[in-house]
Chain A
């Protein structure tokens, strides 16, 4: 009996907190953020960027006069932590909008929950292509990896390689990217000499390299990660395969150079970028320096900043606080919206477009390719 009473009291208390949060004269949204665990180094920067945007929104009148508020919930940088955090934000606080966690695996862990509960989930730093398929309530202001397929096709064309070998990791990400690449590359008159997928996480890619060697191409488009990319580069170097390697941004890491050494020299790739000369970006940068003097702008901070500002815009326009109305408002508010990271117009999957920069490895360092 005692137990039941305790449970009842706890439930009532929990309901009260949920009720006060939504009933108070403020517009509150939730955020699942890695404040502890291995991503905490980034999470703090994300949080600060979100708070900066929040300050600016509230300084200019909030949401139609009501102040906006973000309730942060830590996820310990894990999928498990993300799931319990979002469940708390949805079932107890009943927030209609939640900012999702960093790292695609964590984001993918929570997106079915958000979709099922018809809660809007917005991501600022998750790139996995499969997020596009999460559902109608899931958005992100960070470009999908899928777009890179186009980026790499443009790069290949720019470098004037008409015939290439296409190879990619045999998973959702790799196959998806390769499909997009193929579509654009073939349309622009390119030709594939050979095309094959390979297993993720192997240590021996020599036979794959041989298959490339057999066709003696001038360039190989390899849509790969760091570890697989490095192993292939190394083993291609050992077997004296001299080709121009073209890659995406997933391989762009000093770790690639560390693992592959001289074999990584001369690789060219693409990565999503945005202009830092726009008035929007300069406004973000100035705002940051004013609020956090002496601190460097964090990685992906500007995406978090855009996410909060765009959400505020949608909350201003929405007819009611129901999630379907907010969703519609997000679609209209994003149309032509240009933030610090460029155009944030959502497509039907809740994805944004992107522009691409080019990287290369020169003397063991990753630099911009010109």
Chain B
């Protein structure tokens, strides 16, 4: 029993990180109607920039180093929009998709160029886990969960209780109508990119604290985020959050039944099943829950 409980706990921790990635991806989709393949690179850039500030000449402790890293990642997110996606916005959606794939190569290889392809860490030494009712959890994992809950809580307040959140949801619903009602798209797009980059960077830093950094870390996690987005219904923020959790838990629980070598199979099988039977996501029936 303890074994399954521990697997569940591991799944929730992994899932909360997937949720952080998926929320940004689905927000961009909700407003601009395209899947940003360069989203994964924001994850990696967030983590690497934090690494940059922990080293000479800054030597900041990691949680302080994360602050400038988050800011710069948000700037990269904005630059993505300003220099690539905005000029292409009135073209075909496929154009945006292809452009984002190109951009992801560019950003990933820029990481290789600057920091190299080798594995890196923030230099934490492994610590023994803490025992909680027979379950083992490390302090890094507790931080991860706390941070995920904190940031997703902030997101909830922004989306549900501020003018910005309302206009964001309005634009996602119908961009033309929102413009007619006097909502400035510029402001909304700014908010979307800042939030999306911010959340990816937070997830990236947390992931790197727990494990390590490598240039491919964005791409691997983008696939999980993508599955979460589809599961929750593209464009649906809370769906993406739940989707992330479901994928994390499903993946980790699967280890008890199938060989872990096929763990990734779970998320892809979910993508295929969803596309076949519920292309609008599990919450599709509820209609425009945004």
* Minimal Cβ-Cβ distance residue in B for A233: B126
The 0/1 profile, CB within 8 Å of A marked 1, for residues 212-237 of chain B is 10101100100000000000000000
Once A and B bind, how many residue pairs between them come within 8 Å at the CB atom?
A: 87
> Which A residues are CB-close (under 8 A) to B11?
207
A53 CA to B238 CA, complexed, in Å: 68
Q: Which residues of B have CB within 8 Å of A261?
A: 125-126
Interface string of B1-36 (1 = CB under 8 A from A): 001001100110010000000000000000000000
Interface segment among A198-206, A287-295, A324-332: the answer is A198-206
Complex contact A199–B214 (CB within 8 A): no
Instruction: Determine the interface band of chain A, counting residues with CB < 8 A from chain B.
Output: 20 to 34
B83 to chain A, nearest CB (A): 30
Answer whether residue A240 sits at the interface, using C-beta atoms and an 8 A cutoff.
Answer: yes
Which B73-132 residues sit within 8 Å CB-CB of chain A? 118-119, 121, 125-129
Among B127, B255, B260, the one with the most A-chain Cβ atoms within 10 Å of its Cβ is: B260
Distance in angstroms between the alpha carbons of A214 and B210 in the assembled complex: 23
Interface centre among A201, A207, A211, A255 (most CB of B within 10 A): A207
Interface string of B249-282 (1 = CB under 8 A from A): 0011001100111111000000000000000000
Q: Does A237 lie at the interface of the complex (its beta carbon under 8 Å from any beta carbon of B)?
A: yes
Contact of B211 among A197, A199, A204 (CB under 8 A): A204
Contact B252 A238 (CB under 8 A): no
- The residues of A that contact B207 with a CB separation of less than 8 Å are 203
Main secondary structure of the interface of A (DSSP, over half): helix
> What 1/0 mask marks residues of chain A from 197 to 229 whose CB sits below 8 Å from any chain B CB?
111011111111011001000000000001100
A170 at the interface (CB under 8 A from B): yes
Interface presence of B143 (CB below 8 A): no
Evaluate whether A170 and B128 lie within 8 angstroms (CB atoms) in the complex, with A203-B212, A208-B255 already known: no
Interfacial chain B residues near A259, Cβ < 8 Å: 119, 121, 212
Bound together, the chains give a CA A226 to CA B125 distance in angstroms of 17
Q: A210-B6, A226-B119, A255-B119 are in contact. Are A197 and B220 (CB under 8 A)?
A: no
Question: Nearest Cβ distance between residue A268 and chain B, in whole angstroms?
Answer: 19
Q: A143-173 CB contact bits vs B (8 Å, 1 = yes)?
A: 0000000000000000000000000001000
Task: Name the residue on A nearest B131 (C-beta).
Answer: A240
Complex: chain A residue closest to B125, CB-CB: A261
**A140 interfacial by beta-carbon distance below 8 Å:** no
Q: Cβ of B212 and Cβ of A227 under 8 Å apart? A: yes
Interface residue from A208, A239, A255 paired with B260 (Cβ < 8 Å): A208
Task: Kindly state the separation between the CA atoms of A211 and B3 in the bound complex, as whole angstroms.
Answer: 8
Residue of B nearest to A260 (CB): B126
16 A–B contact pairs at CB < 8 A?
A: A196-B260, A203-B212, A203-B217, A206-B10, A206-B252, A208-B260, A210-B6, A227-B214, A230-B119, A231-B211, A231-B212, A238-B129, A240-B129, A259-B119, A259-B121, A259-B212
Give the interface of A toward B (CB within 8 A): 170, 196-199, 201-208, 210-211, 214, 226-227, 230-231, 233-234, 237-240, 255, 258-263
4 tightest A-B contacts by CB?
A197-B261, A170-B261, A203-B211, A207-B255
Chain B interface residues (CB < 8 Å from chain A): 3, 6-7, 10-11, 14, 118-119, 121, 125-129, 136, 138, 207, 210-212, 214, 216-217, 220, 251-252, 255-256, 259-264
